[in-house]
Copies of this chain bind each other. A is one copy, B any other.
Amino acid sequence: MIYLDNGATSFPKPPEVIDAVADVMTCYCANPGRSGHDMAMKMARGIAETRQELSKLLEIDTPERILFTKNCTEAINLALKGILHAGDHVITTSMEHNSVIRPLRHLERSGVQVTVLPCDRRGRLSVDLVRKAIRVNTRMILITAASNVTGTKMPLKELGRLALRHGILFMVDGAQGVGHMKISVKEQHIDLLAAPGHKGLLGPQGTGFLYIKEGIALRPLLEGGTGTRSKEQKQPCEFPEGYEAGTVNGPGIIGLGEGVRVLNRVGVDVIEAYEEKITGRLQNGLAEIPNVLLYGPQDCREKTAVVAMNIVGMNCEKVALLLNDEFDIATRAGFHCSGLAHQTIGTGDLGCVRLCPGVYTSEREIEEAIAAVREIAARVEA
């Protein structure tokens, strides 16, 4: 199968990741931070190494401020529910995923104020618009690193500086950014970064994390066993234990560490350049097909490895179905959990087909995908 659904989950995984998961499960799958025996200690060390690899990748100085979650959605919920109070104002954009929009809408009911700034039809945000939206009670600017619908990269550095200058928290949803583009919590002045392990970081599903800068207080989302202060009935608030109640996904986190190790070794800049190249080829190839509509930035340097498209006169689900059934190509059609983003780019009623190459996608596969879309599009013309 030609896998162009990396925006949902990256595939294939590096062999190191799969081997690590199997090795942990076979050899030392004990409970880290609870028991003190050799297997548990080995597990704990493996998890600490993942924190180190992530810290290196994202230029984090405080690995203990990386809180492992099951996915990016949990990380976003943890951040928003753990920080915001009634009366706080949050600025976000119309290109956000439902993992951002839905918790914010939920929090509005308890008095959090939310401004959703409109992006343009390519999914781009004006920093000036953000500046003008700042109020005295603005607590947080929250934005995706890159749109999951169009791949549009957001102006993280400028927004980080703006937030810093105004004493506002800057939070980034890294779901489509980490592993695909340079993200540095230092350079971009990021206070909170939520990310999944199973997308650009090449790790297993069931992993994710929230980075939260030192000095920012956080309420836990889950209370439970932490392996610390067992006699206290109140949830402890040490980092990271207090925010990782219950048994963590040990094999998954160690597998994630291997994925990040690959990224650190290869270099995100190298991956970004390769993905830019193949995404550019895919986009240019599709652009030549008469009845194909493309969305998002035309210049691939402005986006990650996402091509959003429709064939005029054919439902997007039908296109994805034909790509799967007749050409063995995996894509995703519909609204991609981002109804608002589709309204923004003009596909609010249509949805679109999303083709997401990845670091393991070959140029040959890109050519085959272009040819497949051309063939399907020709049927509509006929």
Contact = CB atoms under 8 A, between A and B. Distances in A.
B29 A98 contact: no
B196 A337 contact: no
A56 interface: no
Given A22-B22, A233-B98, A246-B71, A1 B337 contact: no
Nearest to A235: B102
A333 B40 CA distance: 12
Copies in the complex: 2
A251 B3 CA distance: 18
Contacts of A34: 8, 332, 336-337
Interface string A232-250: 1111000000000111111
Contact of A337 (B198, B208, B230): B230
Nearest to A10: B29
Interface stretch (A126-134, A179-187, A279-287, A317-325): A317-325
Given A18-B26, A25-B17, A249-B205, A39 B330 contact: yes
A207 to B, nearest CB: 8
Contact of A245 (B99, B221, B246): B99
Interface stretch (A73-81, A264-272, A295-303, A307-315): A73-81
A105 interface: yes
A9 B338 contact: no
A204 interface: yes
Nearest to A5: B35
Interface core residue of A74, A250, A333 (most chain B CB under 10 Å)? A74
A15 B55 CA distance: 34
Contacts of A339: 230-233
B22 A18 contact: yes
A12 interface: yes
A106 B245 CA distance: 14
Nearest to A351: B230
Contacts of A155: none
A40 B4 CA distance: 12
Given A1-B37, A333-B36, A335-B230, A223 B25 contact: no
B102 A247 contact: no
A248 B70 CA distance: 8
Nearest to A339: B231
A69 to B, nearest CB: 8
Contact of A70 (B105, B230, B249): B249
Contact of A9 (B29, B102, B222, B331): B29
A97 interface: yes
A289 to B, nearest CB: 21
A249 B38 contact: no
Given A98-B224, A106-B223, A224-B99, A25 B29 contact: no
A222 B234 CA distance: 22
A205 B31 CA distance: 9
Interface of A: 1, 3, 5, 8-9, 11-13, 17-18, 21-22, 25-26, 29-31, 34-40, 69-74, 76-77, 97-99, 101-103, 105-106, 196, 198, 204-208, 221-227, 230-235, 245-252, 317, 320-321, 323-324, 328-340, 342, 348
10 contacts: A1-B37, A5-B30, A22-B22, A29-B198, A36-B324, A77-B222, A97-B225, A196-B247, A221-B221, A230-B337
